[in-house]
Chains A and B, each alone.
Chain A
Amino acid sequence: MARSVAKTKELIQQARQLPPREQLALVQSILEEFQQQFERAEPGVQFLDLSRIDMAEEVAQFTAFVQHRGRSLEPDEQFIGGLTEEEYFALTEPERQALWDRLEADATRALARKKEIEVDSSYRPAGQGRRPKALRK
């Protein structure tokens, strides 16, 4: 740290000897470098790594939650899209995706004309003043 501070002071001394226009160009190039470093350090995307996670424990926790809050369906009871649970889980992945796409498209059409809500000064951006929480246990 001390070394980088000394190096920075040295660079500032050197920069002071440059003509104003070159000083400005130097500052701009340093700012661009900081921006690039920031973007590399904050890619904005996190990837969930399952390799260190005890999946059995996770599934048990999730199952306990669902069983506590929900209830199993009767075999002939409708699950989604007019299908029973058994019929739904018998679909192939593309068929399931097509079903969800159709339902989503229906909902989008139904809500397309809904007007946007005015945002008055009582609203605050989510997480204002702090970084997003990491998804840790």
Chain B
Amino acid sequence: LTPEQQRCVVIFNRLLGNQARIYVTEETLAVIHRIPSRSRSALAAEFLRLEKGKYLKRWARRLQGFGFSAEDARVLSYASFGLDRQAKQLGVEMVITADRKLVERFLQYRPAIARRFHAMTVQLRPPCHDAHLPAIILV
């Protein structure tokens, strides 16, 4: 296994061991569902769908202003405004990514991103008023 694959194995073991809820975006889930059912069954059964909540697109557009690609901005925005409709949960606690560029950009602009996020959410009604930026784990 490559170091990146090793890290993914470790992360996945930890998440399962902690009985964490593992979310993927609707887009990623759509890709997974294109894998024939017998081969996707082991991992995909552990994934939960995160759907687009209100303000997700707006926050993604603002993140693109910090230089994130459309895809990276969407993933980060899901972390704050994605919805688990069954658990009635807004956003997630952490994003796990192997994308170093995303992490470096997030670290570079984090204080400004936090200020922009606060400026946006402070005007919203609860629970979006209480939405938060995720922690990020780089595998």
Contact = CB atoms under 8 A, between A and B. Distances in A.
Do the two shown chains form a genuine complex with each other?
yes
Interface residues of B, number: 66
Interface in A73-110: 73, 77-81, 85, 100, 103-104, 106-108, 110
Contacts of B132: 125-126
A70 B54 contact: no
Contacts, number: 170
Contact of B135 (A45, A116, A128): A45
Contact of B133 (A44, A85, A114, A135): A44
Nearest to B6: A55
Contacts of A70: 38-39, 41-43
Contacts of B3: 50
B71 A108 contact: yes
Given A46-B137, A116-B53, A124 B41 contact: no
19 contacts: A44-B136, A45-B137, A46-B138, A48-B137, A50-B7, A55-B9, A65-B16, A69-B45, A71-B38, A73-B38, A77-B39, A79-B35, A81-B34, A103-B34, A117-B85, A124-B88, A125-B90, A125-B127, A126-B92
